[in-house]
A and B are shown apart, each in its own frame.
Chain A
Amino acid sequence: MLARRNFLKASLAAGGGLLLTATLPTPSKAATLGVPGTDAVMLNAYVRIAPSGQVTVTAKNPEVGQGVKMMLPMLIAEELDVTWDAVQIEQADLDPRYFSQTAGGSTATPLNWLPLRKVGAAGRHMLIAAAAAQWGVPAAECDTTPGQVVHRPTGRTLGYGALATQAAAMPVPHLDTLTLKDPKTFRIIGQPIRNLEVPRIVTGQPIFGIDVTVPGMLYAVFQKCDVHGGRLVRSNVDEIRALPGVRAAFEVKGGRNLRGLLDGVAVVADSWWLANRARQQLDITWDEGDITGQSSAEFLATAERLAKGKPGDILRRDGDIATGFSKAAHVVEAAYQYPFLSHIDLEPQNCTAHVADGRVEIWAPTQNPAPGSKLVAATLGIPDSAITVHMIRAGGGFGRRLSNDYMVEAAWISKVAGAPVKLLWTREDDMRHDFYRPAGYHFFKGGVDAGGRLVAFSDHFVTFSEDGAMAASAEMPPAEYPARLVEHLEYGVSMMPLRAPTGPLRAPRSNGLGFVFQSFLDELAHAAGRDPMVFALDLLGPPQLLPDPPGPRQGPGFDTGRMRGVIELVAAKSGWGQRSFAKGTGMGLAYYFSHLGYFAEVVQATVSSGGDITIDKVWVAGDIGSQIINPLNAENQAQGAALDGLGTALGHGLTVAGGKIVQGNFDTVLPLRMRQSPPVEVHFNVTNHPPTGLGEPALPPALPALANAIFAATGKRIRSLPIKDHDLSYSA
């Protein structure tokens, strides 16, 4: 629902034609989607129509590979009623007139679906009004076909290009008076639209952050302490200045905020390679601070000790857990864990900045430019209004680029060096200075009754604190499934201190919780002697909407019918339960609701007697509402998310020792490769619900579906990740 007032403005574009600027109040619905910080933020969108009929649509959000640079303009172009071939797309800079210029949480679709369509519809309304005025006929007699207004009684037509200038002078319609298209008449939305960037990608055009070049630019590297937040005591920076190609080398005294500018030594040189070679001669003494207990082995030992006691806090208590277990015929206890993860964007963090004359110009591959600009302003002591941020295509994001530490580093180094600089991290910098997906430890107990029904369920979750508070992305929602569907249920949580910064990674929380909960539910199905799919449908019960508990993160609830729908779809497509396999091959099922999307996935895997895993095939079934906006990209995103989950499960995991991340490159962190990559079949249930996002929700089920397939194939239960650390060999 949109507020009554609107701020649509029309004006003449430079060179003639219509420039449409819409400033819309934030749809109040956003507040119910669990998206923080959207109150009182304004949305703008731009449509420019040239006299030639060429339409230019602004893409307001950062592009990190999720396809939003295509998707948002598609919404506008559809309702404007133009042919897609006539549309050019322009990337916006960070601009306070825009609403929510961020790439995170699979939010672009739910937040923009109606508002940006209304922007397009307003333009169409004004073009019709202009044509009606020119013909001297009522607007009600006019309609549009793509790119032109048609007078129905006479069949006369006028092209948008010819009307654009006059349309700019027409009264601006109230957005809530506009009628949007019947989805049955969509010509762009729902079509497989190719990404207009691909021709530039396949010819090697310089379109990424790392490719930015500005006149007079120097190249920078920045050495920080591998114990996060360690303080610089002394360095041999004076010797570094004498090395070949080095233009500047200096110590940086940062702050205590792990998300801001930290202590380190910057080296600025004529080329990046010379800067990085000089850096290898650095000899720095750090004060690492207190690193007691900061290792993976100690975290596990602490978690096991905490799990023996009462939880520090009770997240949820339904019924009486002791009563529940007394009714159980089978009780299963199991300890699960998942490791710290780095985002490993293939394009290492980088940023180009130019600080001069009290102004800062920044070229950043960032998912979240506004907080970055504020961080730079606060750190450099200049007003936010003196900062320009160009949002440059990023070589992957996965949540890493929601933080802007590289941005403030580049700005600071440019300021001290007195020149524009491109800061580029190495892979090791990137892996050792991340905002990690926190590890987590779950101590489960579940009980099924003689009829095979889940009657009792408990989890003691041991997670991390930062400075005494819950670490970022380390929490568990009290409504975590199967809560609300089990009579006797208890979730407790305990925390232990962590010195490394944490943050969201693609499908935050869900990427770990999905693995442990869906794996343990599979264990319970087997304990009950029931097929996991039948067990799942029985647990979900009849279709119903389970409302979320009130609170700041209150969402639209959990629809058991939609979840049943995708489970039944994936079962049908995969032939679940219809095939028998030889020992060593099996199918696993998992299902998960996150980011407003319902997904169920089946993995078929084969494990050799030597323990080598082959993933034979993956079936993905999703429900993201009434409209797949771009089926060509939707399939790609769902395949990629599922494969990302499989790769994470198989080969990705960081260990901490002495407060530092041990791994540094792709020899020890092993992302999925071509040889491991199975075919992925994607199917969507189209349902009568508002369209929602797709960057994330296909990921969480993939990890447990693989683990459950390995159990089906070998009888070996995976209770920790990554799978590469497990011996899966067996006697044939």
Chain B
Amino acid sequence: MTYTIEVNGTRRSVDVDGETPLLWVLRDVLDLKGTKFGCGAAQCGACTVHSDGHPIRACQMPIAAVGDARITTIEAIGQTQVGKSLQDAWIALDVPQCGYCQAGQMMSAAALLARTPKPSDSDINDAMNGNLCRCATYTRIRAAIHRAAATGSI
């Protein structure tokens, strides 16, 4: 069946089974591979994208349920002020090790800063706890969020 969804500001039509998770539509149909598969069970956060600005786990969102929601992925997050300031902070502080989780981390962080421009450590804990980093770069992720909040004119 054909579904039309809005991804990164563009309407895209895909012909897939309606149960197909958004994650696999993004990765294997639309060739947006920045969103990652880690657990398939909303346990790790590697597949975090925005739906109307809210962080969701794309592995749990059937394509048929996306409807008119505006989907934003890591490939386009730099087009927002918040996203750009996070990318700059991630680079400045050399956050990643393997880097596999970082797209999901940044999508959760971008949603946090959009609603809480100056987050406390506790805000960061609450917003980021669903995103696993197996390399445990949490110290720098936290610092980078604070840095983006301080430097970005959000």
Contacts and interface: CB of A to CB of B under 8 A. Distances in A.
A405 interface: no
Contact of A424 (B33, B37, B124, B136): B37
Nearest to A647: B136
Contacts of B116: none
Nearest to B78: A203
Interface in B96-154: 96-103, 106, 124-126, 128-142
A116 interface: no
B36 interface: yes
A198 B100 contact: no
Interface residues of B, number: 59
Given A65-B97, A674-B124, A206 B102 contact: no
B6 to A, nearest CB: 18
A56 interface: no
Query: Which of A206, A665, A673 has most chain B Cβ within 10 Å?
Result: A673
A65 B28 contact: no
Contact of B39 (A427, A673, A674): A427
A244 interface: yes
Interface string A265-292: 0000001111001000000000000000
Contact of A677 (B37, B86, B98, B139): B139
Contact of B98 (A199, A396, A666): A396
Given A205-B34, A273-B20, A427 B41 contact: yes
Given A65-B135, A203-B78, A666 B44 contact: yes
A123 interface: no
Query: Which of A244, A393, A637, A675 has most chain B Cβ within 10 Å?
Result: A675
Interface in A600-656: 632-633, 636-637, 639-640, 643-644, 647
B132 A633 contact: no
Interface string A195-209: 101110111111110
Contacts of A348: 37-38
A493 B142 CA distance: 45
Q: Is the interface of B mostly helix, strand, loop or mixed?
A: loop
Interface residues of A, number: 62
A192 B33 CA distance: 30
Interface stretch (A39-47, A339-347, A456-464, A715-723): A339-347
A467 interface: no
Contacts of B32: 204
A225 interface: no
Nearest to B96: A201
B43 to A, nearest CB: 4
Contacts of A679: 139
A345 B132 CA distance: 11
Nearest to A274: B17
A525 interface: no
A208 to B, nearest CB: 6
B100 A427 contact: no
Query: Which of A65, A213, A344, A633 has most chain B Cβ within 10 Å?
Result: A65
Interface string A458-477: 00000000000000000000
Given A272-B28, A667-B43, A204 B33 contact: yes
Given A348-B37, A644-B136, A273 B21 contact: yes
B46 interface: yes
Contacts of B101: 346, 395
A194 interface: yes
A67 interface: yes
Given A347-B36, A666-B39, A667-B41, A395 B99 contact: yes
Nearest to B76: A204
A672 interface: yes
Interface in A384-410: 393-398
Given A396-B135, A426-B40, A199 B91 contact: yes
B68 interface: no
Nearest to B34: A204
A483 B128 CA distance: 44
B57 to A, nearest CB: 12
B120 to A, nearest CB: 13
B82 interface: no
Interface in B59-112: 73-75, 78, 86-87, 90-91, 94-103, 106
14 contacts: A65-B97, A197-B99, A202-B103, A204-B35, A211-B33, A213-B33, A273-B21, A273-B24, A277-B19, A395-B100, A636-B97, A643-B139, A673-B132, A674-B124
Given A202-B96, A675-B129, 9 more contacts: A65-B100, A198-B91, A201-B96, A202-B91, A206-B33, A271-B24, A427-B40, A427-B41, A644-B134
9 pairs of A and B residues whose beta carbons are closest in the complex: A204-B34, A395-B100, A65-B98, A204-B74, A643-B136, A666-B43, A677-B138, A65-B97, A201-B99
Interface of A: 64-67, 192, 194-195, 197-199, 201-208, 210-211, 213, 219, 244, 271-274, 277, 344-348, 393-398, 424, 426-427, 632-633, 636-637, 639-640, 643-644, 647, 665-667, 671-675, 677, 679-680
Interface of B: 16-17, 19-21, 24, 28-29, 31-41, 43-44, 46, 73-75, 78, 86-87, 90-91, 94-103, 106, 124-126, 128-142
